[in-house]
């Protein structure tokens, strides 16, 4: 095992990554070798940006719903949204606010699930 680590370290020092190295044939003439995924990279970037924008918008909607709900202090609450799944993290002054925040988040259009990781603030 020690010898494998030494060899791997040596190869990394030479700029060769032993775990991820691949042989890529060189293109002849004016041809350019392309990875199959390169053709769809621009559409992936566009859809990724749209997904990120939708996640941010949903997170804002949930945050607004929490702020509007009576009896929830959102000053220490972080909202993350990803594909309709919302995660609430941070702390609130008491346990009733944890339940209220959970219900408020579930009531927002587009929310598929809520993972509530809120804790009670230490006094």
Q: What is the pLDDT of residues 41-82, one digit of tens each?
A: 666 777 889 999 999 999 999 999 999 999 999 999 999 999
The number of folded domains in the chain is: 1
Let me know if residue 123 belongs to a domain: yes
pLDDT score recorded for residue 6? 45
Residue pair 78/116 in contact (Cβ under 8 Å)? The answer is: no
Provide the domain limits for residue 87.
52-123
CATH of the domain at 111: 3.30.1340.30
pLDDT score recorded for residue 16? 52
pLDDT score recorded for residue 24? 46
pLDDT score recorded for residue 9? 52
pLDDT score recorded for residue 46? 75
Structure tokens belonging to residue 49: 């940006």
pLDDT score recorded for residue 7? 54
């Amino acid at each position: 095992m020690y010898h494998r680590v030494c060899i791997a370290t040596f190869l990394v020092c030479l700029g060769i990554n032993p775990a991820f190295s691949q042989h890529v044939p060189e293109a002849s003439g004016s041809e350019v070798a392309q990875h199959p995924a390169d053709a769809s990279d621009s559409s992936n970037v566009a859809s990724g940006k749209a997904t990120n924008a939708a996640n941010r918008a949903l997170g804002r909607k949930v945050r607004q719903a929490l702020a509007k709900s009576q009896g929830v202090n959102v000053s220490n609450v972080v909202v993350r949204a990803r594909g309709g799944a919302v995660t609430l993290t941070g702390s609130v002054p008491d346990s009733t606010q944890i339940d209220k925040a959970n219900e408020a988040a579930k009531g927002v259009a587009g929310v598929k699930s809520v993972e509530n990781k809120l804790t009670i603030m230490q006094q």
